[in-house]
C-alpha cells in the first residue's frame, strides 16, 4: 500500500474535521429547529385587499319616543292605549269627563266679571263723589251770584219804597196839617166855652163839650199818626215785593251756606296709581285664570290623540281613574324612525363614523342603514371591557320590525388595497396595547402591533409584522414566551379566501 504524503494527510484530516464540524453544527442547530418543540397553529402574514367592517348586535329602539301626560284634572272617560298596540296618527286615545272643568270655567268667568264690576264700581263711586263736590261748589257759586243779585234788587226796591213813602207823607202832611189846624181851632173854641160855663149849673153842657174836646184830640192824634204811615196801593205792592225778595234772600243764604259747607268739608276722592295698578293686575290675573281654565276645558274636550304612527310602549293608568294635570298616561314609540343600539369594542370605535353604511339582519330580513349616532363616552360592559355605544338607523323600516328585539348589524368601514393582514383571532390586548405571538428562530416571541382595518376574519397590520411572519392564532396552555415550538399552518387559521384579492 502506498503511503500518503504529509500534505495529503493534512488535507484529509481537514476534510474530516470539516465534516465533523458540519455535523456538529447541524446537531447544534437542531436544538433551535421548530421540529424540536410542540406544534402550534399559525397564520402567516399576507398581503391582500381588505374590506373592513364591524359585526355587532343590539336591540331595536325608536328614535322618536313621546310620553303623554294629562293636560287637565279630570276623570278619564275612555282609555284606549294597550302596550304593544300599533296606533295611527290622529287616533283618539284618551277622553275626559269635563263636567268639573265646565263648572270651573263658569266660576272663572263669574270671578272675572265680578272683579271687573267691582273695579268699575269703585271708580264710579270716586267719580260720583267728586261730581257731588263739583256740583256743591258750582251750586255755591251760583247761589252766591243769586244772593248778590237779590241784594241789589232789595236795595233798589227799598230805595223806591222809601221814595214813594216820602212822597206820600209829604202830600198827606199838607192835608193832615190843615185838618189838624181846623181841629185845633175847634179844640180851642171848646176849651174857651168850657171855661166860660158854670161848673155846677152847666155840668151837662160842660160834659158834652169835654166829650167833643176829647174827640177832637183823638182825631188830631190819628191824623198825626196817618202822616207817619202814609200808604197807597202802589206802595203796598212795592212793600210786598220787598218782603218777597227778603224771603228769597234768606232762602238763598241758607242754601248757599249748606252748599259751601258741603264743598268745603268734602275731601276730593281719587284712586292712586298703585291702586289702579292693583285693580289692573287683579283683573289681568282673573282674565288669565279664565283663559287658562277655558283652554284647559278645550283640552279636556279634545282629549289626547296620537301625534304620529307608532307602538304603545307603556301605560300608566286605566279608564275611570282620576287624572291630575301632568300625570303620566302612556308612551308612544315611533316605529317608522327606528335604530339599532349597538356596542363597539375599543379596538374599533375609532374606525366608525356617522353616515357609514350598514346592513341589519332582523327577523330573517335584511335592511339597509347607516351610523346615526356615536357616543363619546366609553362604558364598561358586563365582562369588564370598555365599549362605545352607537346607533344605526334603519333606512327602510316596515311593519315587520318589532321594537326591543335583537338585531345583527354589520357596519362597512371601507376598503384597503394590498394591506398586510393576519387572522383577526391572533390579536391579543394588554394594558400597553395590541400584540401578537410570533415564531422566530423556533421560539415564541411577543411583538407589539398597530392594527388598522378589520373584517370578520382579517385585521390589517400597520406596523410590527412583515410579510410571511408566522403568527400564533392561539397560544396553547403550557407554552410561554421563549418556548420552542413547531409552526403548523392551518387553513382555518389562515386568511379567508373571501378576503383575498
3-state SS, one letter per residue, for 319-340: CCCEECCCCEEEEEECCCCEEE
Distance between CA 387 and CA 375 in Å, rounded? 10
CB atoms within 10 A of CB 480: 9
Distance between CA 455 and CA 458 in Å, rounded? 5
Q: Are 479 and 440 in contact (CB under 8 A)?
A: no
| Residue 165 dihedral angles phi and psi, to the nearest 5° | -65, -40
Strand-pair category, 433-440 with 428-430: antiparallel
Q: Cell numbers for 85, please give them.
A: 298596540
Place of cell 423556533: 442
Distance between CA 126 and CA 132 in Å, rounded? 10
Q: Are 448 and 433 in contact (CB under 8 A)?
A: yes
CB atoms within 10 A of CB 23: 10
SS (H, E, C) 200-238: CCCHHHHHHHHHHHHHHHHHHHHHHHHHHCCCCHHHHHH
Q: Are 409 and 360 in contact (CB under 8 A)?
A: yes
| Mean pLDDT split into 10-residue runs, the chain, 501 residues | 45 47 44 63 91 88 93 94 93 94 87 85 79 82 86 85 75 74 81 81 81 82 66 74 86 86 74 80 79 88 94 94 94 93 85 92 93 92 88 92 92 89 91 92 93 84 93 89 86 46 38
Place of cell 398581503: 47
Terminal-to-terminal C-alpha distance of the chain: 70
Q: Let me know how long the chain is.
A: 501
User: Which secondary structure element, helix H or strand E, spans residue 8, and what is its range?
Assistant: helix 6-30
| Residue 473 dihedral angles phi and psi, to the nearest 5° | -70, -45
For the whole model, what pTM was predicted? 0.49
DSSP secondary-structure letter at 269? P
Angle among Cα 193, 199, 200 to the nearest 5 degrees reads 140
Instruction: For residue 296, give every residue at least 6 positions away whose Cβ sits within 8 Å of its Cβ, in sequence order, or none.
Output: 71, 72, 101, 104, 325
List 419's β-bridge partners, or say none. 48
Q: Cell numbers for 202, please give them.
A: 152847666
List 435's β-bridge partners, or say none. 428, 448
Q: Which of 298, 308, 295, 337 is nearest to 68 (CA)?
A: 308
Q: Cell numbers for 377, please give them.
A: 363616552
Q: Which of 27, 52, 91, 86 is nearest to 306 (CA)?
A: 91
Per DSSP, the chain holds a count of helices (H) and strands (E) of 5, 23
CB atoms within 10 A of CB 448: 12
Q: Are 412 and 365 in contact (CB under 8 A)?
A: no
Q: Are 93 and 81 in contact (CB under 8 A)?
A: yes
Instruction: For residue 496, give every residue at least 6 positions away whose Cβ sits within 8 Å of its Cβ, in sequence order, or none.
Output: 457, 458
Distance between CA 499 and CA 455 in Å, rounded? 8
Instruction: For residue 38, give every residue at least 6 positions away whose Cβ sits within 8 Å of its Cβ, in sequence order, or none.
Output: 476, 479, 485, 486
Q: Cell numbers for 400, please give them.
A: 315587520
DSSP assignment of 79-146 equals E---TT-EE-TT-EEEEEE-HHHHHHHHHHHHHHHHHHHHHHHHHHHHHHHHHHHHHHHHHHHHHHHH
Q: Cell numbers for 126, please give them.
A: 270716586
Helix 203-228 and helix 99-196, axial crossing angle in degrees, nearest 10: 140
Amino acid at each position: 500500500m502506498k503511503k500518503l504524503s504529509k500534505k495529503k494527510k493534512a488535507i484529509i484530516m481537514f476534510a474530516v474535521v470539516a465534516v465533523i464540524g458540519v455535523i456538529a453544527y447541524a446537531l447544534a442547530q437542531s436544538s433551535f429547529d421548530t421540529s424540536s418543540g410542540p406544534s402550534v397553529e399559525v397564520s402567516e402574514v399576507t398581503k391582500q385587499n381588505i374590506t373592513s367592517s364591524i359585526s355587532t348586535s343590539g336591540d331595536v329602539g325608536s328614535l322618536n319616543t313621546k310620553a303623554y301626560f294629562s293636560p287637565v284634572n279630570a276623570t278619564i272617560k275612555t282609555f284606549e292605549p294597550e302596550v304593544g298596540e300599533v296606533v295611527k296618527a290622529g287616533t283618539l286615545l284618551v277622553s275626559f269627563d269635563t263636567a268639573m272643568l265646565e263648572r270651573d270655567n263658569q266660576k272663572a268667568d263669574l270671578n272675572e266679571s265680578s272683579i271687573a264690576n267691582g273695579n268699575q264700581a269703585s271708580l264710579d263711586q270716586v267719580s260720583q263723589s267728586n261730581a257731588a263736590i263739583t256740583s256743591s261748589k258750582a251750586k255755591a257759586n251760583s247761589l252766591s251770584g243769586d244772593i248778590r243779585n237779590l241784594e241789589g234788587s232789595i236795595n233798589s226796591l227799598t230805595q223806591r219804597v222809601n221814595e214813594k213813602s216820602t212822597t206820600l207823607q209829604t202830600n198827606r202832611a199838607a192835608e193832615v196839617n190843615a185838618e189838624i189846624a181846623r181841629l185845633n181851632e175847634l179844640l180851642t173854641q171848646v176849651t174857651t166855652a168850657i171855661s166860660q160855663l158854670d161848673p155846677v149849673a152847666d155840668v151837662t153842657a160842660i160834659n158834652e163839650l169835654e166829650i167833643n174836646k176829647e174827640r177832637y184830640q183823638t182825631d188830631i192824634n190819628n191824623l198825626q199818626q196817618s202822616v207817619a204811615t202814609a200808604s197807597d196801593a202802589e206802595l203796598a205792592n212795592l212793600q210786598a215785593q220787598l218782603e218777597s225778595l227778603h224771603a228769597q234772600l234768606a232762602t238763598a243764604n241758607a242754601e248757599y251756606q249748606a252748599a259751601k259747607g258741603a264743598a268745603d268739608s268734602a275731601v276730593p276722592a281719587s284712586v292712586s296709581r298703585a291702586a289702579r295698578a292693583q285693580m289692573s293686575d287683579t283683573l289681568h290675573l282673573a282674565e288669565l285664570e279664565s283663559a287658562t281654565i277655558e283652554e284647559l276645558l278645550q283640552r279636556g274636550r279634545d282629549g289626547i290623540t296620537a301625534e304620529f304612527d307608532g307602538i304603545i310602549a307603556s301605560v300608566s293608568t286605566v279608564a275611570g281613574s282620576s287624572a291630575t294635570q301632568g300625570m303620566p298616561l302612556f308612551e308612544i314609540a315611533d316605529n317608522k324612525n327606528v335604530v339599532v343600539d349597538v356596542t363597539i369594542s375599543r379596538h374599533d370605535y375609532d374606525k366608525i363614523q356617522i353616515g357609514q353604511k350598514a346592513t341589519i339582519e332582523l327577523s330573517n330580513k335584511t335592511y339597509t342603514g347607516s351610523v346615526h349616532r356615536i357616543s363619546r363616552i366609553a362604558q364598561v360592559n358586563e365582562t369588564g371591557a370598555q365599549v362605545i355605544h352607537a346607533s344605526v338607523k334603519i333606512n327602510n323600516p316596515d311593519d315587520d320590525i318589532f321594537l326591543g328585539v335583537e338585531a345583527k348589524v354589520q357596519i362597512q368601514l371601507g376598503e384597503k388595497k394590498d394591506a398586510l393582514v393576519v387572522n383577526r383571532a391572533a390579536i391579543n390586548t394588554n394594558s400597553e396595547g395590541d400584540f401578537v405571538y410570533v415564531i422566530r428562530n423556533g421560539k415564541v416571541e411577543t411583538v407589539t402591533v398597530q392594527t388598522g382595518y378589520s373584517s370578520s376574519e382579517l385585521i390589517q397590520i400597520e406596523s410590527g409584522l412583515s410579510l410571511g411572519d408566522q403568527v400564533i392564532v392561539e397560544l396553547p396552555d403550557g407554552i410561554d414566551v421563549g418556548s420552542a415550538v413547531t409552526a403548523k399552518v392551518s387553513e382555518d387559521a389562515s386568511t379567508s379566501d373571501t378576503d383575498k384579492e
